Amino acid sequence: MTLNNVTMRRTHNSSLQQQQQRWSIPADGKHLLVQKDSNEYNPQKRYTINPDDYYRRSWSSESSDSVISSESGSNCYRVVLIGEHGVGKSSLANIFAGVHDSIDSDCEVLGEDTYERTLMVDGESATIILLDMWDNKREGEWIRDHCMQVGDAYLIVYSITDRASFEKASELRIQLRRARQKEDIPIILVGNKSDLVRCREVSVAEGRACAVVFDCKFIETSAAVQHNVKELFEGIVRQVRLRRDSKEKNEKRLAYQKRRESIPKKARRFWGKIVAKNNKNMAFKLKSKSCHDLSVL
Ligand SMILES: Nc1nc2c(ncn2[C@@H]2O[C@H](COP(=O)(O)OP(=O)(O)OP(=O)(O)O)[C@@H](O)[C@H]2O)c(=O)[nH]1
């Protein structure tokens, strides 16, 4: 995989700043930047980060087709992180943004809410604007309403070590359905903290079943060991494309993915088809299987 320089920009909305002192997306789409140790915006400067420093562990697999690009593609998707307090939303956002403990750069990300990044998925660039501004506190109600309205796609995060957060995720799915009734919005249910095996309170099967019931996709991640985080963000791009773009375009992408698929993955896909053919009573199981596959609807 080739990595170019990543350009990370903070965006700012004056109304949000007034109320919450947090960073957000501007209504006019202009980007403002933050300089380390200054807390001052510098609208002229764009900070460039060497991705080798930040993506070593998670996004630099040789087998991956993801390329971090400094250019903004025309396909821009606003993705919103929602979920209970402490489930790891900001940790996932930080990985996406390339923030790392070993950070050694003149760029600093303040707050925890908006990141923009362009990545290559299935040979095409896509820009994700990631919003991590969900606020579970009572006074954050207006932010929650805002979040429910602005997303092109949603990542509903729970912690696999916290059943209450899993239940909250279901609630959020229902709220989202109410808020955006007529829209077919891509949603991925994300079971984070999968590294904490001994503290698990929610099984993979429960996560999948919930995704099937709520008609969304499902993935387990670990922000701590950076497992499946790249797959998550590539997956949400694919989910948006599957809904927005023509059938022909998506078929081409699927063919591209298949060409690049590893042999074990190809074998699993082939085996899945044989099992499905031989068992007609597997509708639920199959659906539950496909909710794991972020590259199909
Ligand atoms: N072991 C483990 N810890 C994690 C993981 N993700 C996040 N954490 C830890 O969980 C705690 C909460 O993480 P945050 O990213 O702040 O969670 P959040 O959902 O943004 O929380 P709020 O901002 O309060 O809504 C932190 O101590 C993280 O280090 C993970 O995948 N594994």
What separation in Å is there between the alpha carbon of 268 and the centre of ligand 1? 33
Mutational pocket test of ligand 1: of 91, 114, 138, 139, the residue with most ligand atoms within 8 Å of the beta carbon: 91
Higher pLDDT, 95 or 101: 95
pLDDT digits (tens, 9 = 90+) for 184-213: 999 999 999 999 999 999 999 999 999 999
pLDDT digits (tens, 9 = 90+) for 53-81: 333 344 543 334 444 433 444 589 999 99
H/E element holding 72?
A: none
The answer to whether the Cα torsion of 267, 271, 272, 273 is positive or negative is positive
Residue 4, burial from CB neighbour count under 10 angstroms (0-12, 13-18, 19+): middle
What separation in Å is there between the alpha carbon of 199 and the centre of ligand 1? 14
CATH of domain 72-247: 3.40.50.300
Q: What is the mean pLDDT of residues 5-31?
A: 37
- Three-state DSSP at 102 gives coil
Closest CA to 226 of 94, 76, 37, 111: 94
Pocket of ligand 1 (CB under 6 A): 83, 85-91, 136, 192-193, 195-196, 222-224
d(C-alpha 231, C-alpha 224), whole Å = 15
What separation in Å is there between the alpha carbon of 155 and the centre of ligand 1? 15
Q: Where are the domains of the chain?
A: 72-247
Q: Report the complex ipTM.
A: 0.99
Measured by CA distance, the residue closest to atom 25 of ligand 1 is 85
> Of all atoms in ligand 1, which is nearest to the CA of residue 193?
31
> Of all atoms in ligand 1, which is nearest to the CA of residue 192?
31
Higher pLDDT, 87 or 9: 87
CA separation, residue 243 to residues 151, 240, 254 (Å): 14, 5, 14
